[in-house]
Amino acid sequence: MGSYRFILSGGGTGGHIYPAVAIANELKRRYPDAEFLFVGAKDKMEMEKVPNAGYRIEGLWISGLQRKLTFKNLLFPFKLLSSLMKAGKIVNKFKPDVVIGTGGFASGPLLKRASAKGIPCVLQEQNSYAGITNKLLAKKSQKICVAYDHMEQFFPQDKIVKTGNPVRGDLVTNNVTKKEALVYYQLDENKPTLVVLGGSLGARRINQLIEKELRFFNDLGIQVLWQCGKLYYNEYKKYQSETVKVFDFLNKMDFTYAAADIVISRAGAGSVSELCIVGKPVIFIPSPNVAEDHQTKNASALAVKNAAIMIKESDLNMQFESVFSALFKDEERREILGRNCKEMAMPNATHDIVNEIEKLLKK
């Protein structure tokens, strides 16, 4: 047998890209001679992030349907045809042994073409509510790796394997001490630290909230480590101070989580999985603007198990200060939330997903 060949496809957001890269890294560790190709959407962040991780990527001219009638929607049939043709060419030329889709629009045409040629396909669904692309691809896929229970409402029961979501390896083996993390970020060891995460692109509503509440945090004696996102950095960097550290993007997440006493975060699947592994008390503020409102569903899955707190954007003005100060003043509640959160973690996800891929190779 020559060396194996794998195509991975997923993108649009960090939540689809990081799992694909984590899976590729584990496959590469087991099969150092294997060849890899990523397929993404032409103008999305994967075109930058994947080469940074050391992999080759090809872009398809594809985007999702907008909810309202727009010029982009009129282009959709042409984009789809163009992408199906290009995906067919990529599959014919690269001849993969297995194709892995982690969600996002580009994975649709690619897995459709690969499965039509009888190439085994594996889906990885990060959310508690399946995305439209994965639902459409489920029939033709051999295995569907999921992170939540009750996914048989979307997928054939006999194909589902509960593995959890791949997260960055440095979080699973996090050896950073709180002291090292606070020194790294030049924060005060004697003050509690709030970490604010708005996802890879930032979150306008969370940024507006933090800006409004800076004095409230200051009065409680809390210092803030604030990832505001690339799009918003110029607007918020003016708040940089001894007790407020503003970043466009936090790269060293092991240090970030080690510094945290409380976390405020969006509820994308990747963030939720990471936060479970580090077991910190979290207030989730789900984005209401994502497909099928899956962030609310992700956050609810933890909130019902007393593993996190969820506040909807529409309730922030009324509820935020009272919910936050109650949590801040109740150390026991913080410990319980962190512990329950950690119990939901699945730290071996990447390993388990690659085991499923290996079974298909051996067939």
Residue 354 identity: V
**Listed residue (297, 357, 361) closest to 144, CA to CA:** 357
What tokens were used for 305?
Answer: 């198990």
DSSP 293: G
Q: What does the alpha-carbon distance between residue 295 and residue 27 come to, in Å, rounded to a whole number?
A: 29
Tell me the two tokens of residue 96.
């993969």
* Residue set of the binding site for UDP-N-acetyl-alpha-D-glucosamine: 13-15, 127, 168, 200, 295
CB burial of residue 123 (10 Å; 0-12, 13-18, 19+): buried
Letter string b/e over residues 179-211, b meaning 16 or more CB atoms within 10 A of that residue's CB: eebbeebebeeeeebbbbbbbbebbbbbbebbe
Total residue count of the chain as it appears in this document: 363
Name the maximum alpha-carbon separation found in the chain: 66
Backbone CA torsion sign across 190, 192, 197, 203: negative
Known binding residues are: 13-15, 127, 168, 200, 295
